[in-house]
Every structure is written in C-alpha cells, then in structure tokens.
C-alpha cells in the first residue's frame, strides 16, 4: 500500500516523552499500516502545572492550533496520549476530526472485565482534572486515583503473585516485577535513586551558562561522580523532572528577566511543584546586571514545597563571572557536595 493510501493519524501532546512512548507502543503493535504524524509544539505550556492550578498559562489555545495543523495535513483522527486528553472535545471541534485520549481508548476495554471500579496510577494533573473519572462515567465505571495512598497499595501488592505490570504510558512488563515495585516505592516516598546533582540553568547571553559549567566542574572536583546539566530553554521540563526525582540535590541558576525568573526556569519550577517534589537540597545562583531578583522569586516557589532546604548564601552574578563570584560558586558547590 502506498503511503498516500494509508490512513494518517496525528499524535498531539505537550509532553514529548509521552508521545515518544506512544509511538513505540504503536510500532510494537504493528503500526506500519498507518502514517503517524507526531506534533509536540515547544510553545505549548506544560499541562501538568495548569491542571494542578500552579500555572495560569492555558495550553488549549496552542493545542487547538496544532490540532488544526494536523487536520490540514490529512489526518483523519488525532491521538492525545498525555494529560492534554482533558481537552479532547474542544480539540475535536477545532480540528473537525475525532480527537481521542488514552482514557477514552483504555476504559472501553475494561468494561466487563472489572466490577465497575478501576484504580488509576497517574500524574497529579490527570488526577486534579479527573481525566479518567470523566471518561469512565460514559461506561458506568468508577475510577479512583490512589496517588496519596500509594504506599498502602504497594503493601497490598507485596502479598500478591504479580505476573504482569500494565502501565498506561509504557510497555507491559512480564519479568523483574520486584525491580519495578521498588521503583514505585522510591518514587512515592520521594527518595533519590542515586547520589548526584541536577544542574539546571536559564541563560540569556551565555554568562549564566558559563557559571553553570564552572559550578558543575567544581562539583566534580568536590567528588560528585554524577552531574546532569540542562539548559532549561532547550530541554523539555519532563526530562529535567526525571533527574530531579533521580537525584537528591539540585542546583538552579537563573538570569533575571523583567524583574522576575527567566520564563523557562519558572516553568520548570512550577512543574516540580505540580509533581510535589520534596526532600531535596537546593543550591541557588542568580544573575542580574542592576536589579537581580531571580533568587528571591525562586526561593518563594521552593518555600511552598515540602522539605526543600536551600543552601546559604545565594551568590549573585552581575552579568558575568568575576573572581569573587567564581570563588563563591566553588564554595557553594563544595557545600552542596557535602550536604
């Protein structure tokens, strides 16, 4: 069959990781009989902070425009595999083609296999928007979200002989079940997976990036073996979030922008807050030529999160690194390494 004769399916979302996982699953199921057109516009605000009430930036306008692009490209149906599925009705109206969510696709398969109740392990945003609960009503099902009592759920699971793990956003696992249960235990208690430091920076002209590189090298000199460094303007927050859960220590370096935090860094911070990240040690570095304010505002966001320890002092860079601020960065890196 020629490509032009195959059905065109659009894949739309605000989270590139969710789209990538969806495409892998379709490929594993034999998706060669359809043309998949993935689209995850960088300008779409992350859905998680918005659904949790931590951000006022609505993702719907950008998602609606992207859905129209996919429809104009010949897609006869659009799949939304992440939390943006809450907007399916609005996206269907805008694109003029059916827009389907993961919830809408999964729940019909559960009818008859369950006793009208299902528990869903999901992100805080999906729970806050009741994505699965709204879809479940159409099929006479009730969905619960055991996010808070995950520990109790895992205790029950420990007594079971589990043959399969069937995640909503990943492959079906048939072996090494204990390894995955341990991961859920660690994530649900916010315990780091390994020793290391996440360094995330927001730079405008390159000076804050230079400071981040100096800081990272100082961490290595202080004996830190694992350092993950990200430019928040380049890397999607979902990837940085993953390492925020992986490591117990964070370093956040941001330029001041319009007397506030650089927007990409603020997006990351709101995402960390939306995922209830806690029990972390954080080093802050701010940059500002005449009115540095990033450090203060980052601290305000972190103060609303649980058990976040901010190291003192917070170095201030005046545009570019000078000898005294370079020394302050080295001292802070050593302090973070020993924390």
Quick one: tokens of 10?
């659009």
pLDDT of residue 33: 66
3-state secondary structure (DSSP) of residue 204? coil
Contact criterion met (CB below 8 Å) for 293 and 259:
yes
Quick one: tokens of 305?
């999160």
CB atoms within 10 A of CB 278: 13
pLDDT of residue 68: 93
Per the listing, tokens 């296999």 go with 113
pLDDT of residue 1: 42
pLDDT of residue 301: 93
3-state secondary structure (DSSP) of residue 123? coil
**How close are the terminal C-alpha atoms of the chain, in Å?**
61
Rounded Cα–Cα distance for residues 138 and 264 (Å): 38
State the virtual CA torsion across 311, 193, 294, 43 in degrees, nearest 10.
Answer: 180
Which residues touch 107 (CB under 8 Å, ≥6 apart)?
Answer: 118, 132, 135, 136, 138, 139, 141, 143
Quick one: tokens of 37?
């057109």
pLDDT of residue 166: 75
Q: Which ranges in the chain belong to alpha helices (H)?
A: 16-28, 47-51, 60-72, 88-95, 102-110, 124-129, 131-136, 150-158, 177-188, 207-221, 237-246, 263-274, 294-303, 323-338
Rounded Cα–Cα distance for residues 13 and 21 (Å): 12
Show pLDDT as tens, one digit a residue, over the chain (339 residues): 444 567 888 888 877 777 887 777 777 766 566 788 888 887 788 888 888 777 888 889 999 999 999 999 989 999 887 778 888 889 999 999 999 887 777 777 766 655 455 666 667 777 777 777 777 777 777 666 655 566 667 667 767 777 777 776 667 878 887 787 777 777 777 888 889 999 999 999 999 999 999 999 999 999 999 999 999 999 988 899 999 999 999 999 999 999 889 999 999 999 999 888 988 999 999 998 888 889 999 999 999 998 899 999 999 999 999 998 999 999 999 999 998
Q: Which of 102, 149, 147, 101 is nearest to 122 (CA)?
A: 147
44, 270, 319 from 61: Cα distances, Å: 8, 20, 36
pLDDT of residue 121: 64
């Amino acid at each position: 069959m020629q490509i032009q004769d195959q059905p065109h399916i659009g894949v739309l979302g605000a989270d590139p990781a969710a789209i990538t996982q969806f495409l892998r699953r379709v490929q594993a199921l034999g998706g060669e009989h359809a043309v998949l057109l993935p689209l995850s516009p960088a300008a779409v605000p992350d859905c998680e902070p918005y659904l949790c009430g931590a951000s006022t930036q609505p993702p719907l306008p950008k998602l609606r425009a992207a859905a129209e692009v996919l429809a104009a490209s010949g897609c006869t149906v659009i799949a939304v595999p992440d939390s943006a599925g809450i907007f399916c009705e609005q996206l269907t109206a805008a694109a003029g083609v059916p827009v389907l969510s993961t919830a809408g696709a999964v729940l019909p398969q559960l009818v008859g296999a369950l006793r009208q109740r299902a528990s869903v392990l999901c992100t805080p945003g999906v729970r806050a928007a009741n994505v699965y609960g709204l879809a479940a009503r159409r099929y006479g099902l009730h969905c619960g979200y055991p996010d808070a009592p995950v520990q109790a759920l895992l205790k029950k699971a420990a007594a079971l002989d589990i043959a399969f793990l069937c995640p909503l956003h990943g492959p079906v696992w048939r072996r090494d079940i204990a390894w995955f249960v341990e991961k859920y235990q660690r994530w649900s208690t916010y315990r780091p997976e390994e020793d290391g430091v996440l360094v995330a920076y927001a730079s405008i002209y390159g000076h804050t990036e230079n400071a981040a590189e100096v800081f990272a090298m100082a961490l290595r000199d202080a004996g830190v073996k694992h350092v993950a460094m990200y430019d928040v303007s380049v890397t999607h927050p979902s990837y940085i979030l993953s390492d925020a859960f992986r490591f117990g220590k964070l370093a956040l370096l941001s330029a001041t922008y319009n007397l506030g935090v650089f927007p990409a860094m603020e997006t990351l911070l709101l995402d960390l807050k939306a995922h209830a990240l806690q029990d972390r040690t954080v080093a802050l570095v701010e940059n500002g030529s005449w009115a540095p304010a990033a450090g203060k505002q980052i601290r305000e966001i972190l103060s609303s999160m649980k058990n976040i320890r901010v190291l003192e002092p917070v170095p201030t860079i005046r545009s570019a690194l000078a000898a005294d601020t370079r020394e302050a960065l080295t001292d802070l890196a050593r302090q973070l390494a020993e924390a």
